[in-house]
Amino acid sequence: MEVTIVGTGNMARGIGNRVLAGGHGLTVVGKEQERAQGVASDLGEGNVSTAVTGAELGGDVIVLAVYYPDAREAVEQYRDQLAGRPVVDITNPVNETYDALVVPADSSATRELSRLAPDAHFVKAFNTTFARTLSSGEVSGQQLDVLIAGDDGAAKDAVAELARDGGLNPIDAGPQSRARELEALGLLHMTLQEQLGSGFASAVKLIT
Cα 123 to chain centroid, rounded: 9
Q: What is the pLDDT of residues 182-195, one digit of tens each?
A: 999 999 999 999 99
CATH code reported for the domain at 2-196: 3.40.50.720
Q: What is the mean pLDDT of residues 115-122?
A: 98
For residue 157, what pLDDT is reported? 98
Q: How far apart are CA 198 and CA 140, in angstroms?
A: 12
Q: Which of 162, 167, 171 is nearest to 60 (CA)?
A: 162
Q: What is the mean pLDDT of residues 123-151?
A: 97
Predicted structure pTM score: 0.96
Comparison of pLDDT for 46 and 103, the residue scoring more: 103
Domain ranges of the chain: 2-196
Q: What is the pLDDT of residues 26-51, one digit of tens each?
A: 999 999 999 999 999 999 867 899 99
- CA distances 147 to 39, 65, 89, 92, 97, Å, are 25, 16, 12, 13, 25
